[in-house]
Every structure is written in structure tokens, then in C-alpha cells.
Amino acid sequence: MTKRKLGKTDLWVSELCLGTMQFGWTADEALSFQILSASFDAGINFLDTADIYSRWVPGNPGGVAETIIGKWLKRSGIRREQVILATKVRGRMGDGADDEGLSRAHISKAVDASLRRLQTDYIDLYQAHWYDDKTPIEETLETFDELVRAGKVRYIGCSNYPAWRLMQALWAADKHGWARFDTVQPHYNLVHRDEFERELAEVCRVYELGVIPYSPLAGGFLTGKYRRDQPADSVRLGGVRGYFNDRNWALLETLDGLARERGASLSQVALAWQLSNPLITSPIIGPRTLEQLRDNLGAVGLRLSAEEMARLDQASAWEM
């Protein structure tokens, strides 16, 4: 699988990033191990997780996905440097005052806990999961910088940051000579374009940030799993139902047509739409089964023509 340079870092990552939110939720430990091994064998070297995955599941205290990755890495015999590990900090991981947020106290405690669960002595990419308006950006960045200097973290990034907050962070890092955010993890797909494209995209282009979008298949909507006037049942239905409108049903019809022309699945065409954009580094897939993984892998190397990109852009266009 072709590797891509992650922004201005020296990290070279696979075209697809394996997301792990489903580990310990819709995929148990045994299945998670199978997905990890099959992904690595297929050439995926980039794993994305977070300390809170998946704390919303009854009986899950958080940290389960990181723990599964750590166990798999030890048992697999794969050398640590063969895998790019990315995790995130921000969410609540306990009941104490310092058990959430982006304060020095929480980050310092959370990074050590993530390192223990991942069974490693460094994290390749440590990301702020979403911004914390109760903590000065300088406190967050200085703490991240100290982690980089200590060797616990190689690079830092952010997720779910609006453009103004990202620019504030880049300015503060430049002013103080601290490590800066080198990546952005936005919510981005064919039915959710404006949040990234309105302002964030240009910031990433100008400052050469790596872009690793999450939910590139819109929670399964862009797989064709949901259809107009057909009953649907899924653990993620609540988050997907908002896409059920005439505009997006028409988009699925356009995807159907392109998929038939290219001999590909809807998922593969939706992923190819991102992979054909030079601004996008590595979309994050979240397969819950080996079958879904195999389908997603079919997007590797698939590129859309300018005419095909224009068809999808027009079918999913948003207004300024």
C-alpha cells in the first residue's frame, strides 16, 4: 500500500487509517485482533484511537480500545516502529476534577495512562480530541511541547477544532517556539462537507497540516446500507438518521451510478472521493467486521477522474 507523508512530520502513513472506536463496543477483543492483523497484513500501518473509547458503552470504563491495541502489538511480534500509533486526550476518564479537559494536570496523567495501555514508551501522534474553552491554549500547548521534548510524544495534532481555535493554537506555538499541531482530524464526508471546507481546509493547505478525516462513510450512510423507504436497524442509526433527506438520497443514486461504472462498491467510491483530493492524507475507516475491512481496502489505489469528482461535488454541494 502506498504511503503518504503526514503533513510536515517525518511520518509516512498508509492511504487508509484504521480507526478503533468499535473495539470493545461492536467488535470484541478476538475480532478486534483479527481486524488489526488483517489490516496490517494489507499494508495499513496507521492506527487511530482515543483514551475514552468506548466509555459510553455500559461496563466500559474507557481505555479498552487502547488496551486491545497494546495487547495485539505485543502478541503479534510486530516491531513498534512498523506501526504509527495515534491517540487522543480530552474526554472524561474518571470522577476527579482533573479527569477531563486539556489542562496540564489532566494531559500529564492521561498520557502516562495511554502509554501503559498501549504498552509502548512513545506515541507517534497525540491529539487534542476537541478543544477545551476552560483551559488557556498556552497551557495546553506548553504541556504538549514538554511531552515532545521528553520523548513521550513525537508529534501533536487536534480533532474537532474550529478554524479560529486552530489558528490561535498555531499562532501561540509559533510565538513561544513550542511544538505545533501538525495534523487535523475533522468530521468530513460527502454529506458533511461544510464544517471542513468552509475555513479549515484553507488553513490546512496554507500551513501544510496533515488531514485525517473521521467518519468518511458517514456512519454507514455512504455504504448504501440505508435506502429511501426501507426499514433500517443499526446501533448507529440515531447518528445517521439526520442524513435521510431527498438531497442525500439523490447523492446515493449518483454514487450508485459511479460504482457501477467503476466496478466498485459505494463505500469504495466515497473513500476514493477523499483519496483523490491531494489535501487529504488518510481517511479513518472503522470496520466492525472483516467483510467491511475487505470492502474498504478496495478503495486503496482507486482514484476518480476530474469529471467523476465534479459529479460527486455537484451532487453534494453546500451553500456558502
Dihedral sign, Cα of residue 171, residue 131, residue 125, residue 285: negative
Cell 466509555 belongs to which residue?
A: 55
**What is the number of other CB atoms lying within 10 angstroms of the CB of residue 121?**
9
* Residues with active-site annotation: 53
Written as nine digits, the cell of 155 is 508529534
